[in-house]
Amino acid sequence: MLKIVSVLGARPQFIKAAPVTRALGQAGHREILLHTGQHYDYGMSKIFFDELDIPEPDINLGVGSDSHAAQTGGMLMGIEDVLLAEKPDWTLVYGDTNSTLAGALAAAKLHIPVAHVEAGLRSYNREMPEEHNRVLTDHCADMLFAPTKTAVDNLAAEGISQGVHKVGDTMYDALLQFLDLAHQRSGILDDLGLEPKGYFLTTVHRPSNTDIWENLRAILAALRVLEEPVIFPVHPRARAKIDEIDGELQLSAPDCNVQLIEPVGYLDMLRLQENARAILTDSGGMQKEAYFLKVPCITLRHETEWVETVAAGWNILTGPDTEAIRSSITAIDTSRAAPAQIFGDGHAADRIAALLAEHQLS
Ligand code: UD1
Ligand code: UDP
């Protein structure tokens, strides 16, 4: 039996971790869930534990929001205390947030083996805080769970081949595990009065889109003139910025179809995505989910880590550019070939649990 400390902190990490937590439990390993507290609103954190049946975190550091250094530093100190007390066989980290980097760095300094789920992703844009987190975490990690071949190739280009395993994507596992439940439990289409394929879905949370006024304005200007409802669950980072701009763009005017709502849970989000005419987003996870669900995606960034979705014709990169967004909506073609299974077979989490046991280092 392994003892594993899993470091989680932000919304997408709860979703990525849910299938792994299940697989580790089924394999009889002891997992200690360490929540950094990076996300803390009910709708950004606890709702996912409730819906995805993830046990309550064993520890919540309650670090909260702050500058990168203060937030990551607070996490580092708290995680170190836990690792010193628990002395796990593995520290498991997910994705590319400040919680990921803090977990990897704290463990590496203590010579506790680090395993990184979703290793090898690169945007090659160092303006993104996530890109530093990805590169540094991968270079700390002993075991690197790559979701795709591109991720394996990216690691090889940086000289990392030892400990790399292409396992598939745990977000695909999660979607397969929870889609039926979403159908049973989510009433969001009725609640919002939506017809299948009769609306757009959008999310925006990258600092480059929320914190640069011209970019947020360009995105909202494109959404504002759409003739079908645009459902927009607003990430807390974007909320105040949108409120500032609302006076000018009049998003709540009767002629505007944009519906700003609070962040939704995973089950509602799956339903909303599955039935959307198209998804317009800067989210990493939602670009993949759009692909899994065969929904066209318009990515409000100039580059993506998920290059396969673009190559397959299911994702268009527009950046925060009003004209490019509008013309890509007009160009949406739903007759394209079904997406290939490039994100695995839905059993990435089982492979991760098996590989951690097989390669026990300590
Ligand atoms: C973080 C990750 C990003 C990930 C995103 C997922 C980093 C550097 N960024 O970005 O990679 O895509 O999570 O959603 O780790 N806030 C609240 N309530 C919350 C959480 C945040 O109000 O529960 C607000 C605070 O004002 C905070 C801001 O959102 O300052 C940003 O939160 P933070 O966790 O720093 O970054 P995200 O933009 O959420
Ligand atoms: N998500 C959700 N509710 C929302 C917005 C997103 O459940 O209101 C889910 C989404 O389906 C995906 C994950 O959160 O599984 C993506 O998280 P986010 O966009 O915050 O981060 P990123 O993937 O860009 O790191």
332 CA from centroid of ligand 1 (Å): 31
pLDDT at residue 331, as a whole number = 84
Query: Which numbered atom of ligand 2 lies nearest the CA of 15?
Result: 15
pLDDT (tens digit per residue) in 215-236: 999 999 999 999 999 999 999 9
The closest residue, in CA terms, to atom 8 on ligand 2 is 263
The first and second tokens of residue 147, run together, are: 């979701």
Where does the pLDDT of residue 79 fall: very low under 50, low under 70, confident under 90, or very high at 90 and above?
A: very high
* Amino acid at position 308, single letter: E
pLDDT (tens digit per residue) in 37-58: 999 999 999 999 999 999 999 9
Q: Average the pLDDT over 347-356 and give the result.
A: 98
Show which residues are catalytic: 205
How many CB atoms within 10 Å of residue 330? 6
Q: Any residues with CB less than 8 A from the CB of 2 and at least 6 apart, and which?
A: 24, 29, 30, 88, 89, 90, 356, 357, 360
**What's the CA angle centered on 117, arms 203 and 136, to 5 degrees?**
90
pLDDT at residue 362, as a whole number = 55
Looking at the whole model, is its pTM more than 0.85?
Answer: yes
Q: Average the pLDDT over 251-274 and give the result.
A: 95
360 CA from centroid of ligand 1 (Å): 33
pLDDT at residue 21, as a whole number = 98
Mean pLDDT check: name the lowest of 77-81, 95-99, 336-340, 349-353: 336-340
The first and second tokens of residue 340, run together, are: 């290939």
pLDDT (tens digit per residue) in 297-343: 999 999 999 999 999 999 999 999 999 999 999 888 777 777 778 99
Which ligand is closest to the CA of 16, given by its number? 2
Choose which residue among 44, 97, 210 to substitute to test ligand 1 binding: the one with the highest number of ligand atoms within 8 A of its C-beta. Answer: 97
User: In which residue are the tokens 């198209």 written?
Assistant: 278
Q: For residue 279, what is the enclosing H or E element?
A: strand 278-281
Q: Average the pLDDT over 91-98 and give the result.
A: 98
pLDDT at residue 66, as a whole number = 97
| Contact call for residues 200 and 273 (beta carbons, < 8 A) | no
Question: 3-state class of 26 per DSSP?
Answer: helix
- The answer, yes or no, to whether residue 246 has pLDDT greater than 90, is no
Rounded distance between C-alpha atoms, residue 336 and residue 115, angstroms? 37
193 CA from centroid of ligand 1 (Å): 30
Q: What percent of the chain has pLDDT over 70?
A: 99
* CB of 74 shorter than 6 A to ligand 2: no
Where does the pLDDT of residue 173 fall: very low under 50, low under 70, confident under 90, or very high at 90 and above?
A: very high
DSSP letter string, 42-95: GGGTHHHHHHTTPPPPSEE----S--HHHHHHHHHHHHHHHHHHH--SEEEEET
pLDDT (tens digit per residue) in 149-165: 999 999 999 999 999 99
**Virtual torsion, Cα 246, 212, 305, 108, nearest 10 deg:** -120
11 CA from centroid of ligand 2 (Å): 6
DSSP letter string, 304-358: -S-HHHHHTTSEEE--S-HHHHHHHHHT--TTSPPPP-TT-SS-HHHHHHHHHHH
Domains and CATH numbers, the chain: 3-169+344-361 (3.40.50.2000), 187-330 (3.40.50.2000)
Which ligand is closest to the CA of 260, given by its number? 2
pLDDT at residue 109, as a whole number = 98
Q: Are strands 297-299 and 230-233 parallel, antiparallel or unpaired?
A: unpaired
Could you tell me the sign of the dihedral formed by the alpha carbons of 247, 253, 259, 261, in that order?
positive
Phi-psi region of 206 (alpha: psi -120 to 50; beta: other; left: phi over 0): beta
**Virtual torsion, Cα 114, 304, 130, 115, nearest 10 deg:** -10
pLDDT at residue 339, as a whole number = 77
| Contact call for residues 234 and 263 (beta carbons, < 8 A) | yes
**What's the CA angle centered on 179, arms 91 and 183, to 5 degrees?**
145
Average predicted confidence (pLDDT) for the chain: 96
The first and second tokens of residue 53, run together, are: 């049946």
Q: Any residues with CB less than 8 A from the CB of 110 and at least 6 apart, and which?
A: 80, 83, 84
pLDDT at residue 200, as a whole number = 98
pLDDT (tens digit per residue) in 105-141: 999 999 999 999 999 999 999 999 999 999 999 999 9
Phi, psi torsion values for 195, nearest 5 degrees: -95, 140
